[in-house]
Each structure stands twice: as structure tokens, then as C-alpha cells.
Amino acid sequence: MLDDSNFINKTDKSDALGLASLNAEQLKYEYNLTILGSRSEVDNIVVSGMGGSALGALFIKSWLDLDIPFEIVRDYSLPSYVNERTLVIVSSFSGNTEETLSCLDRAEQNNAKVVCVAGGGQLEERASSAGHTFVKLPECPQPRFAAFYSFKAMVAILVAFGVVDGGKLTEITETSSFLSDEIKKITQDVPTAQNPAKQLAQEIIGKSPVIYAGSLMAGPAYKWKISFNENAKNVAWYGVYPEFNHNEFIGWSSHPKDKPYVVIDLRSSFDHEQVKKRFEISDRLLSGQRPKANVVEIVGSSRLQQLVWAVTFGDFVSLYVAILNEVDPSPVALVEQMKKEL
């Protein structure tokens, strides 16, 4: 089925696979922000964003070792410590996310340094009226398909405030060619026999994925969860080592014996050596009590290369699962209905 272009095109009505193929192009996008402030003016950073609009911040936590507190808020309110020395980045792809707008209210009340990231909407209007810096995201059908646009926008903001070196933006741009080459190995025209993303999708169909990663790849693992949820309309979960071994590990050890899940381990060569051992030992100790893990060895010679590869590979796997589920990956009708009900 995954090698039948007619079947794929019938299901993937908005060409989500084509959008995933453009992930590498997002890494080359330039925001050209001028200097917005200095590192000496900022004590901490808070990013407010929901769903796909928080992914850029999660990727930053996976990639950069910041020397400044960096917190992600996915709720209606900001931490009480936010003040005039806090950089608050409010991120909403639509510009109309109610939780994010609520956080903007709090940031303004506390005189924080505010930067708005959105495709338009109320965030753009409020940024204009209040004099906040506004970073406009390029057009894209859904926030989860614009993850690398958001990622690079947030890095550009940190560079403009002197929090990270400008060379990091160059590194992102240069990683585009690596990712472009890797994408060619998993696009829909590559037959299943040579396509690891299609092969893994076939293992997942009819089951609920549970994705595990070490802390360095927690952001990509969460993106896999989002992609399965929204693209494949498939419930999924994720967990992070070593925390997994202190609670969830035991949850797999009892009934029911026949568990309708597929386990996916995202393993990075940059994982802590003890985390690498934990992957191996956990799978051995849980043999017969949970499905054997499908190991995905993350490709790339740097943490950034591995991050963008892991995210993109997960995008393709989830889209192939959507096609096998015979659901259009792009629409998220229930999310829109929830917004209307609220």
C-alpha cells in the first residue's frame, strides 16, 4: 500500500508528505533580526506556547547548553518570578491561542521583555500596538509542520539578545544539506524494501506507539508523540530515560500480558553512557512482558544533525501510519471544534 502512489495521494489529500520533504528548507530560512538587547539585561527566559508552537523551545533544550534558566510554559499563566529582567517569548502559530494570549497578559503586567512569534492573528496585532518585537512565521498549514521555522526563530531571538552565539544560526543553516540528503532515503518514491520509515510504519499499524529517548532527544521524542496523535490520529505516549526506570518501567511488568503497543527506542550516540546501558537492560528485563523495542539509531555526527534527523524521520513514520490508517494527515477537526466549544 505504501508503494502505491495512487493510494497515497487519495489519502494524503493536502500532500503532508510533500511538506515533510521540505523540512530541510525550513532550516535555511533567515529572520534577520537586529540586536534586541544584551545578555546582561536578562536573568531568565520563559517561552509560552502550546502543542507545535512549543516545539522550537523543546528543540533548544535538546540542543543547547544554556547558561541561563530557560523554562517552557504550556498553560495559562507564567511563573511568579517573571519580571522586567525576564525575556518572555510568546509563541502561537495562529496568533490566537488563548493560553498564550493569557501569558502575554501576565508578561505585560510584570513588565517583562516580550517577543511575539506567530503567523499573524491577535499576537501580531497586540505586538504592533504595544511595541513588542514581532517575528512572523512563514505560511504553513499546521504548526507541527512548521517546527523548524519555530526552532530557528527562537534561536534567532536568543542570538539577538546575546544569549547564544550567532554561529549557532549558521550551524542550523549548514545542517540543511545533511537533512536534505537524508530525506531522500525515506520519501514516498523509495520502495518499502529500502525505506526504513515505511518499514517501521508497518510495525506500528493497529497498535499504540510508546516512544522512549534519553534526555538529549526528549524534544524529538515528544514531536513523535505529537505527529502520531495529529497526523495518524493514533494515540501515543512518550517517556524519557533515566526517569523511566524509576516508575514506568515497573508498569510494564504486570498484566495484561498481551499489550497492544509498539515500543520505539530513539537512541543517540550522544546519550549518557548509563542511559545507553538502561536501554539495553530495560529491554532484556522486560522481555516477554512488553513488546520488544524497535530500535531507531539516530543518524548524524552532531547533536543538531541528530535532532533534525530524529524529528524528520518521525514525521515520515507517522505520515505513513496515517496512510495505512486511511486518514488524511493534515486536518485536526477535533482541535478546531474544541476551540469553538471553549
Known catalytic residue at 139: no
Which residue is catalytic, options 30, 246, 255, 273? 246
E-only strand ranges, 120-186: 133-136
- Helix axis angle, 196-204 relative to 303-325, nearest 10°? 50
C-alpha cell at 166: 550567532
Reply yes or no on whether 233 is catalytic.
no
Annotated catalytic residue within 10, 184, 292, 339: 339
Give the SS3 label for residue 313: helix
272 is catalytic: no
- Interatomic CA distance for residues 327 and 305, integer angstroms: 31
Active-site residue, from 99, 124, 182, 230: 230
* Beta-carbon contacts of residue 276 (< 8 Å; ≥ 6 apart): 267
The SS3 of residue 11 is: helix
Q: Do the beta carbons of residue 201 and residue 321 sit within 8 Å?
A: yes
Q: In what helix (H) or strand (E) does residue 253 lie, and over which residues does it extend?
A: none
Cα separation, 213 vs 42, in Å, equals 31
Sign of the four-CA dihedral 126, 89, 307, 198: negative
In this structure, are residues 26 and 329 in contact, taking their beta carbons and an 8 Å threshold? no
Q: Which residues have a catalytic role annotated?
A: 230, 246, 339
